[in-house]
Amino acid sequence: MFTKITEQRFKNYISEERSRFKGTLYGSLSDLKKDLLSKFESAIAEGPEESIQRVITDNPYLINYVFPDTGHHGVWVFPKRMIRSQQANGTPGLIPDYLVVAKNSLGYTWQIVELKRRDTQFSNANGKSFSSAGQKSIVQAATYITDFSQYIETIRSNVGIQEIIQPQNIIIVIGDSRMETQEQKARRSEFEHLAPRVKVSTYDRIRRGLENDLRFKP
């Protein structure tokens, strides 16, 4: 026997979810508005990742579209949260674009999401080498994985959340799959097989996911 979900019960549920992880921005499917697609496409057209980041930060559910296995559950987002301060020897601190808690049928996972330029692909056009932005993002991903392995307690202290665990994935969002050559698509796929904890997604994936979900909005 199914229990009818009233509007008030749903509002109470969303309110509870929003407060589940202190200091986060919460995004759910119910937050999506019809005009969000045009806002996101305009931000992509502008080019710099700062424009895209503003739209994503204001609409954190968009991050859900870059995850491989979260379905339509909500997401909890820490934008620009420092996980490592600058060290005494001058080594710069670490501030990922987004530290994210994602939810699926098995529970909660932690993810790191890094935004790169929309007009730069992960590898060069001939597919024989990674682009400059691609190389830098690989180094960033490796640094995040190492720091979480070695300094997890410090990261928990810096973020202020004791529940933090090793991130399941480091997700790099870069380029547009519609503009990739077949060689670029092949290199991106091969890299993910080589480094399974580093996922390389594109802004077009977010656009397609959003466009699909908005078809069901009244």
pLDDT in tens, 174-208: 999 999 999 999 999 999 999 999 999 999 999 99
Structure tokens at 26: 């919460």
User: Span 32-58, mean pLDDT?
Assistant: 91
Q: How many CB atoms lie within 10 A of CB 140?
A: 18
Q: DSSP strand E in 45-116: where?
A: 75-79, 98-104, 107-115
CATH architecture of the domain 7-214 equals: 3-Layer(aba) Sandwich (3.40)
pLDDT at 129: 94
pLDDT in tens, 99-109: 999 988 778 99
Give dist(CA 188, CA 125) in Å, integer.
12
pLDDT at 1: 46
Where along the chain do its domains lie?
7-214
pLDDT in tens, 125-176: 999 999 999 999 999 999 999 999 999 999 999 899 999 999 999 999 999 9
pTM over 0.75: yes
